[in-house]
Structure 1
Amino acid sequence: MYLKEYRVCMPLSVKEYRIGQLYMIAKHSHEQSENGEGVEVVTNEPCEDEKHGKGQFFTEKRIHLSNRLPTWIRSLIPRIFYITEKAWNYYPYTITEYTCSFIPHFSIYIETKYKDDKGCTENVLGLSDEDMEVREIEHIDIAYDDMADKHYKEAEDPTLFLSKKTGRGKLKKEWKDSDEPMMCSYKAVKVKFEVWGLQTKVEAFTHRSVRDILLLGHRQAFCWIDEWIDMTVEDIREYEKSINKETNKKVLQNS
């Protein structure tokens, strides 16, 4: 098992981020989906837990992505391939699990806590002593970390974007020390692939992919702020229902 804690600061409040994250996930999934590839929403319903209380929604998705994987991974899996995502949202705490029925020894387990700070709180997720010993911390800067050229869009560059509705944007080098409001997404990501000879390679590749997804997603959530900042929770749920139906049609077309 390979455990990393990612810390991603945002020039938002935790209350604002609740809407922005849901909007980004729905819109990003729709943009990235096409015939036979992308994110199919299977379940989206309320949930409850003895420890965490009532959750906003339990979500189950199928991520169809075989054609987007490296050749060396595609050679190991069936042509019809998807990863199952299950998420429990007890905002500002969430749990997300990724599994694959074709590869039973592979899993990703993510615990997330959102906090109004600058990413300086230690063990905000309450990790065990054992996990703390092996944990690696990586800070992700949404404005100045390098990202793949194929994902770069000038309209989604926080160093260039200026929000018309909030005045936030064109983030400077020291933006995390000067901008307000400020919040941090703390994510403890455990990747497990118990196949001898491939474990290290697959777990390292998965963490690189997680980092790239977090960087891109958080950049989009901020740079799309003018699209969602006036939304209520009820508005975003209606938006999710509408766009999820459209996304499922794209993914399942001719399947």
Structure 2
Amino acid sequence: MTSPARTGEPDIARVAGLFANGTRARILMALAGGGSLPASVLAEHAGVTPQAASTQLNRLSRAGLITVRPSGRNRYYELADRRIAELMESLAALAPAQPVARTLRASSRSAALRRARVCYDHTAGLLGVTITEALLNSGALVPVGGTEPTADQTAESEHPYRLGPAAIPVLTGLGVPESHLADDQERPLLSFCLDWTEQRHHLAGRLGADLLDVFSTAGWITRAANTRALHLTSAGEDELARRLGMRSSGAAPAAHP
């Protein structure tokens, strides 16, 4: 998304204040999966009444962080820009952990998101990290500079890896068209998010989005309704082991958030 040129200093405090409310933060995290959700579902995710959720949704909408789409009697909300999802993931990686959820439903939802979730349009959680590590082990990705970056270096860089010598055979073997591997578009082919649950990088960028799209179309990964949680199917586990040499990610059990 290209933004018009601006003059003057950015008002960071004004934007940061929008994230400093627990209800708004939970709403934005729920929407970080890249889908559209109604206010009732967002209220449930935030743990507040529909009226309280509506107040915060209106504020986020006025600030331009979310958009609203009417559909019949419902209004569906989604993030205005994928960069907001990336920012939420980065903030989550820095934030201290909250107390473990006490209810079974909340605990199950949290565990499902840690196993596998969508980060706007690519795979995150343990599954996302495991896929990224399998791509490194296969030679489809290699460290920038030829040596594995230290933990401090990877934490500071969105581009710690580049395409390796095995990229074309490995990625086309997974179903990604070779024409999609050219780094000649506005959105970078490769970028990496520091995963907030695993504290390691997972693949993002156009390639991360392409892989999730390919895996979803093939039925290797499915998405639970009204949540960011993903599920690696038995077929997906078998195919990724065969084509990518990926060991089990622990993400195979079905989630019931």
Bin the TM-score by the shorter chain. under 0.3
Report the structure, 1 or 2, having the larger helix content. Answer: 2
Structure of greater relative contact order (alpha carbons < 8 Å, 6+ residues apart): 1
**Structure 2-normalised TM-score?**
0.26
Report the structure, 1 or 2, having the larger strand content. Answer: 1
**Structure 1-normalised TM-score?**
0.26
